[in-house]
Amino acid sequence: MSAIDTLFGQLRCDGRKAFMPFVTAGDPDLDFTAALLRKLVEAGSSMCELGIPYSDPIADGPVIQASYTRALDKRIKLDGIFEMLGEVTRELAAPVVTMVSYAIVYRRGPDRYVAEAKAAGAAGLIVPDLPADESETLAEVCRREDLSLIQLITPTTPRERALRIAERTTGFIYYVSVAGITGERDALPRQLVENVGWLREQTPLPVCIGFGISRPEHVRMLAPVADGLIVGSAIVRRVAGTGEKPREEVLEEIGQYVAELLGAMAG
């Protein structure tokens, strides 16, 4: 079993849901990213997603795109990200997965990328621009290294195709809550609960929802039907405040925000 399989097995035994924050590696620098990962896990996060900055993101909204640009402007490199991750994962009581464009994986080579990610302590990969139908080569490498390859299903994915994607997924299914890009939203689609409920009946894999989740009311709406919730832009937006506030203050604000969402999840 992978670290992610173990995590969700324990969460199910405990009757709990996963809280999964997303952060951008290197925004504003790798030291802060390491401190933020520690703070997120300390606050009660079950797993963290680490975004690998890329110049041409596919589904990321303006907040995450801006964070990638800031990191790339600082000349953040993959080797440095893996070095930071290797140091911090030893301290974390929660798995970390990388959110990465397939262009980066391909350029480095799937075998090398997966081996280096595993050596750095990563538990899995999310590759949003790699179609499930074309993922077998990377999936085989991940199976060999016992890393999860998490696939995405969207509201516009036909149900027959959703089932095929689920068969090609390990770890958990990332269910995209809305058609479009990442970003905080006032409201989420009414049919979201029905769609996720249907999917959970079709697969033994955990189903976790991301895109647009930022408020306690979102958490209260979705926690009963999902196995986990993913929050990205709302955290990345707060990280952008490091240019105006002391870093410790930003970390405390994020810790309090996570605690508020976790309280809504427990309630």
| Long-range contacts of residues 105-108, Cβ cutoff 8 Å, at least 24 apart | 105/130, 105/138, 108/78
Residue of 130, 129, 146 whose CA lies nearest to 57: 129
From the CB of residue 115, how many other CB atoms can be counted at a distance below 10 Å? 16
Give the end-to-end CA distance of the chain in Å, rounded to a whole number: 30
Q: Which of 29, 49, 116, 227 is catalytic?
A: 49
39-61: burial string, b at 16+ Cβ within 10 Å, e else: bbbebbbbbbbbbbbbeebeebb
- Contacts of residue 218, Cβ cutoff 8 Å, sequence gap at least 6: 188, 212, 229
From the CB of residue 93, how many other CB atoms can be counted at a distance below 10 Å? 8
Q: Which of 5, 27, 60, 116 is catalytic?
A: 60
The rounded radius of gyration (Å) of the Cα atoms in the chain is 17
Q: Is 60 a catalytic residue?
A: yes
Angle CA 226–208–30, to nearest 5: 140
Q: Is 244 a catalytic residue?
A: no
Angle CA 144–149–155, to nearest 5: 160
> CB of 60 within 8 A of CB of 68?
yes
The span from the CA of 229 to the CA of 226, in Å, is 7
Q: Which residues are catalytic?
A: 49, 60
